[in-house]
């Protein structure tokens, strides 16, 4: 049975007891305390307009080891076109992620999500990696939530070729310095092409538990 969250509930059931659907709970809202507890538990929200707010902990879980990111020679050349900045324009990054996904079937970055993750950013849990072109214009980037030395990636966008991948490359270097991993949540063809792999939910939850005792990435 999937757990129903009430507005007064801030703790989640054990995701290890969730079935293969990956849905841990439904209901509640995007309260800051609830969001932090969710990520600390290996759970993330995934809104669907046809259902109450859904909370997921998928099995298997897609992750990317920093040293496994696939980088082509042509991409290495294009890296020189971008300046990487961190946390200088979080709102614009998440807004552009939402805009570039608009109209897609798997769009989940609602106005409520943008507001909630901006609050996570303001409290130091969410971060953005940004790629700027030679004119200083934001050309691509990504955002996510840090828990210890795990970066839980949420979304990325690219206006110019390889701009989002440049941000991911910079992130992988930063995460690698802390001996962490990038949580990609659910595997897709694009993530697989970048070098992401699937691991079991139980393995991910153990890595997460250990990561909470490690120095933060940012």
Tens-digit pLDDT profile for residues 86-131: 999 999 999 999 998 765 555 689 999 999 999 999 999 999 999 9
3-58 and 62-211: identical CATH topology: no
Phi-psi region of 126 (alpha: psi -120 to 50; beta: other; left: phi over 0): beta
**Percent share of the chain, pLDDT over 70:** 97
Asked whether the beta carbons of 198 and 72 are under 8 A apart, the reply is no
Compute the radius of gyration of the chain from its Cα atoms. Answer: 17
Q: What is the mean pLDDT of residues 192-204?
A: 97
Q: Which CATH architecture has domain 3-58?
A: 2-Layer Sandwich (3.30)
Q: What are phi and psi of 105, to 5 degrees?
A: -65, -30
Is residue 38 predicted with pLDDT exceeding 60? yes
**Predicted confidence band at 213 (pLDDT cuts at 50, 70, 90)?**
very high
**Percent share of the chain, pLDDT over 90:** 83
Q: What is the mean pLDDT of the chain?
A: 93
Which pLDDT score is estimated for 76? Answer: 82
What value, to the nearest 5°, has the Cα angle with vertex 9 and ends 152 and 30? 45
Given 3.40.630.70, 3.30.160.20, 3.40.50.720, 3.30.70.2190, which CATH number is that of 62-211? 3.40.630.70
> Bridge partners of 3?
25
Residue 41: half-sphere exposure toward Cβ, Cα within 13 Å: 23
What residues does each domain of the chain span?
Answer: 3-58, 62-211
DSSP string, 23-61: EEEEE----HHHHHHHHHTT-EE---TTSSPEEE--SSE
């Amino acid at each position: 049975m999937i757990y129903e969250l009430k507005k007064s509930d801030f703790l989640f059931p054990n995701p290890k007891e969730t079935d293969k659907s990956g849905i841990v709970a439904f209901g509640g809202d995007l309260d800051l305390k609830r969001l932090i507890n969710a990520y600390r538990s290996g759970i993330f929200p995934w809104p669907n307009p046809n259902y109450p707010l859904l909370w997921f902990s998928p099995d298997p879980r897609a992750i990317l080891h920093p040293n496994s990111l696939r980088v082509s020679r042509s991409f290495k050349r294009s890296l020189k076109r971008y300046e990487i900045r961190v946390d200088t324009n979080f709102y614009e990054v998440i807004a552009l992620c939402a805009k570039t996904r608009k109209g897609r079937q798997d769009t989940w970055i609602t106005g409520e999500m943008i507001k909630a993750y901006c609050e996570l950013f303001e409290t130091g849990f969410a971060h953005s990696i940004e790629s700027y072109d030679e004119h200083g214009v934001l050309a691509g980037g990504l955002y996510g939530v840090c828990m210890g030395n795990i970066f839980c990636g949420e979304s990325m966008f690219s206006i110019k070729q390889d701009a989002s991948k440049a941000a991911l490359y910079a992130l992988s270097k930063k995460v690698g310095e802390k001996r962490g991993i990038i949580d990609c949540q659910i595997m897709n063809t694009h993530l697989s092409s970048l070098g992401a792999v699937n691991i079991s939910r139980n393995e991910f939850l153990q890595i997460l538990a250990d990561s909470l005792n490690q120095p933060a990435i940012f």
